[in-house]
Amino acid sequence: MFEKFEAAPQDPIIKLIGMYRDDPRVEKIDVGVGVFRDAEGQTPIMAAVTIAEQRLHEAQTTKAYVGLAGDEVFNGQIADLVFGRSGVRDRVRAVQTPGGCGALRMLSDMLFRIASERTVWVSDPTWGNHYPIFRQSGFNVAAYPYLDRETKTVNRDALLGKLSTLGQNDIVVLHGCCHNPSGAELAPRDWDEIAALSAKNGFLAFVDFAYQGFGDSLEEDAYGIRALALAVESMVVASSCSKNFGLYRDRVGCALLLGGSPEVSDIARGHLLSTARSSYSMPPDHGAAIVARIMTDAALRQSWEDELTGMRRRMRSIRKKMSAILRAKSGGARWDFIADHRGMFSLLILDDSQVDRLRRDYAVYAVAGGRINIAGIKDDDQLARFADALVAVVAPAHPAPAT
């Protein structure tokens, strides 16, 4: 039976993890894998998570199913965190899912039931798993312009120009904040224009919200979603707790939808639950229960928000230092954009030979295209070695621009 299979292509990031693990060089630097790391190079368990998990362990008396929708306290708290307590909150419905990927896939499968003829538009570039997720549901997937590869900033005119041509036969996937892989952010005025275009032309906004709190703040990072919610009749959001709660392996996500009325939202949620039932049936409880305890306990929530602020400040600090040291070592402003980006990632626009040379000659592991995880840099010594490697690999072929 299985002889009919051809070998499946290996996921490039999974392959990179293995290559880094097997590299014996002590000076190796991992800026490829997309997890937050502290100054010791660890992905820590947040203090609030440790306390909430212990309390959960002490209080939990059963492992029976929670239900199709998962933890309803969790669902309500994530809906509040994402949409705020605005006038649309009564039209928001939420379903716990196995991670942000699970939310993306469940929403995609649900939408395909009623909108199979629509085209799903993703940004150029976008997170690598967007294409297979939406294609596996059955959608045709196309790309809209997003990144100016010269300036490494959002190509605002091209982006808005393309979105202005889309309408009721289109679904537009937007990164809520901390764009992966580029790090280039939409400004509030961009979100306002996108919201106006969605309301006017009728395309459905599908927001991937994996990094709330990693950009500017929990509230500021939600600006785009809330601007859309106030302008449109319908939209969907896939939220993840992997990054901002550090619950990567516990797979904690939430699928959220906004309908034109509470009644319409209830019906849509029913179809989302039906989609879940035919897939994974019941979501895992543990991680969501931890988040629910943190969000409903004032002291734990404050602890969580404080630690999240520290994580965000660490990434911002590394960005500023990296930009400054690259300016000093290269003699130009080529890398100044790194300080302006948000979240864990920046896309350096490197070709395959440059990425290979970083790995081969300097033990620096980056994703194809030159996506780097800022939080992968442990200390100033690693930062200096990373900067030396990048300048050595890039400078000969591309002289730095004048300041």
pLDDT tens per residue across span 310-369: 999 999 999 999 999 999 999 889 999 999 999 999 999 999 999 999 999 999 999 999
* Contact present, 171 and 119 (Cβ < 8 Å): yes
The arithmetic mean of pLDDT across residues 142-168, rounded, is: 97
The arithmetic mean of pLDDT across residues 149-172, rounded, is: 97
- Domain 2-44+313-394 in this protein, CATH class: alpha beta
Structure tokens that stand for 337 in this block: 């954009």
Give pLDDT, residue 10: 81
Which candidate, 266, 297, 294, places its Cα nearest to that of 69? 266
Question: Any idea which of 4-18, 89-103, 114-128, 183-197 has the lowest mean pLDDT?
Answer: 4-18
Q: Is residue 17's pLDDT more than 60?
A: yes
Other C-beta atoms closer than 10 Å to the C-beta of 321 total 18
Residue type, 218: L
Give pLDDT, residue 12: 82
* Contact present, 370 and 361 (Cβ < 8 Å): no
Which candidate, 215, 314, 249, 237, places its Cα nearest to that of 49? 249
β-sheet with 119-124: strand ranges across: 92-98, 252-258, 235-240, 204-209, 170-175, 119-124, 140-145
Q: Is residue 155's pLDDT more than 70?
A: yes
Give pLDDT, residue 14: 86
Q: Is residue 187's pLDDT more than 90?
A: yes
Which of the four CATH numbers 3.40.50.1370, 1.10.260.40, 2.30.110.10, 3.40.640.10 does domain 65-296 have? Answer: 3.40.640.10
The arithmetic mean of pLDDT across residues 50-73, rounded, is: 96
- Range(s) for CATH 3.40.640.10 in the chain? 65-296
Rounded to whole angstroms, the Cα distance separating 392 from 397 reads 10
Give pLDDT, residue 3: 87
The residue ranking higher by pLDDT, 130 or 397, is: 130
Question: Any idea which of 12-16, 105-109, 126-130, 202-206 has the lowest mean pLDDT?
Answer: 12-16
Rounded to whole angstroms, the Cα distance separating 312 from 342 reads 9
Mean pLDDT computed over every residue of the chain: 95
Which entry of 109, 121, 127, 162 is annotated as an active-site residue?
Answer: 127
Q: Is residue 396's pLDDT more than 90?
A: no
Structure tokens that stand for 197 in this block: 């275009």
Rounded to whole angstroms, the Cα distance separating 206 from 257 reads 9
Give pLDDT, residue 402: 45
Which entry of 30, 71, 208, 285 is annotated as an active-site residue?
Answer: 208
* Contact present, 74 and 96 (Cβ < 8 Å): yes
The arithmetic mean of pLDDT across residues 113-140, rounded, is: 96
Which entry of 191, 243, 285, 321 is annotated as an active-site residue?
Answer: 243
The arithmetic mean of pLDDT across residues 43-59, rounded, is: 96
Q: Is 127 a catalytic residue?
A: yes
The arithmetic mean of pLDDT across residues 379-393, rounded, is: 95
Q: How confident is the model at residue 11 (pLDDT cuts 50, 70, 90)?
A: confident
- Range(s) for CATH 3.90.1150.10 in the chain? 2-44+313-394
Q: HEC profile for the chain?
A: CHHHCCCCCCCHHHHHHHHHHHCCCCCCEECCCCCCCCCCCCCCCCHHHHHHHHHHHHHCCCCCCCCCCCCHHHHHHHHHHHHCCCCCHHHEEEEEEEHHHHHHHHHHHHHHHHHCCCEEEEEECCCCCHHHHHHHHCCEEEEEECEECCCCEECHHHHHHHHCCCCCCEEEEEECCCCCCCCCCCCHHHHHHHHHHHHHHCCEEEEEECCCCCCCCHHHHCHHHHHHHHHCCCEEEEEECCCCCCCCCCCEEEEEEECCCHHHHHHHHHHHHHHHHCCCCCCCCHHHHHHHHHHCCHHHHHHHHHHHHHHHHHHHHHHHHHHHHHHHHHCCCCCCHHHHCCCCEEECCCCHHHHHHHHHHHCEECECCCEEEHHHCCCHHHHHHHHHHHHHHHCCCCCCCCC
Residue type, 141: V
Give pLDDT, residue 96: 98
